[in-house]
Amino acid sequence: MILRVEEVYVLATRVLTEERLKHTLGVAGWAEELARHHGLDPVKARCAALAHDLAKGIPIEDQLSLARRWNLLKYPEDEQYPYVLHGSLAAYWLEHYFRVDDTEVLAAVASHTLGRPGMSPLEMVIYSADLTEPSRDFPEVDKLRQSLYDDLEKGTFECVKSILIYLRESNHPIHPLTQLTYEDLKRRQTIGTESKKA
């Protein structure tokens, strides 16, 4: 089944709090704008953005229980810090209960919290739009938005870098998948620089 904007919007209004819905609509609008600007499918971007936090409101203990049942725990940190699980849970839910078979959209929903090495452009859009949607207000956010508009891959790298700096400065744990995402994007930037020089 292909996810339709109207259907996922209705689903989001049913399961999200008012505050979370406001954030989600902000992500959807910004993700669609970025997708259009970078030549990606704006409908897929809006659908993935509307779906990205569908499991966020599930109590943490229940998220952990579902992740165990659905075999979604890939790292010890997933169990230690289960607040990172909601993307994978939402993607699994959409695939197995709503029969969504758009692998690109499912991957974008699943990886929006931690990222992953080898992210597709749509995954980058959802990951980055989640961090920089219009209601976000922190130092550097405008710079990140501009960077994403100028160059999606470089902008996403800057977003991951910003998250790592925040986590280190606030003594929060860094999930290995986010660290791997950073290293992968950094490597991509280096490869791009080298090919331009050649």
Q: For helices 86-97 and 60-69, give the axis angle rounded to 10 degrees.
A: 50
pLDDT tens-place string over residues 71-128: 999 999 999 999 999 999 999 999 999 899 999 999 999 999 999 999 999 999 999 9
* Higher-scoring residue by pLDDT: 132, 195: 132
pLDDT tens-place string over residues 32-46: 999 999 999 999 999
Residue 1 pLDDT greater than 70, yes or no = no
CA dist list (Å): 104 to 2, 25, 66, 75: 11, 20, 23, 23
Gap between the Cα atoms of 90 and 70, Å rounded: 12
Gap between the Cα atoms of 152 and 154, Å rounded: 6
**Res. 157 pLDDT band, cuts 50 70 90:** very high
**Res. 59 pLDDT band, cuts 50 70 90:** very high
Closest CA to 25 of 1, 4, 9: 9
Q: DSSP letters along 132-179, please?
A: H-TT---TTHHHHHHHHHH-HHHHHHHHHHHHHHHHHHTT----HHHH
Average pLDDT over residues 40-56: 97
Average pLDDT, the chain: 94
Gap between the Cα atoms of 131 and 163, Å rounded: 9
Q: Which domains does the chain have, with CATH numbers?
A: 5-197 (1.10.3210.10)
CA angle in degrees (0–180, nearest 5) for 84-81-189: 50
Q: Which two tokens stand for residue 198?
A: 């050649």
| Beta-carbon-side half-sphere exposure of residue 106 (alpha carbons within 13 Å) | 16
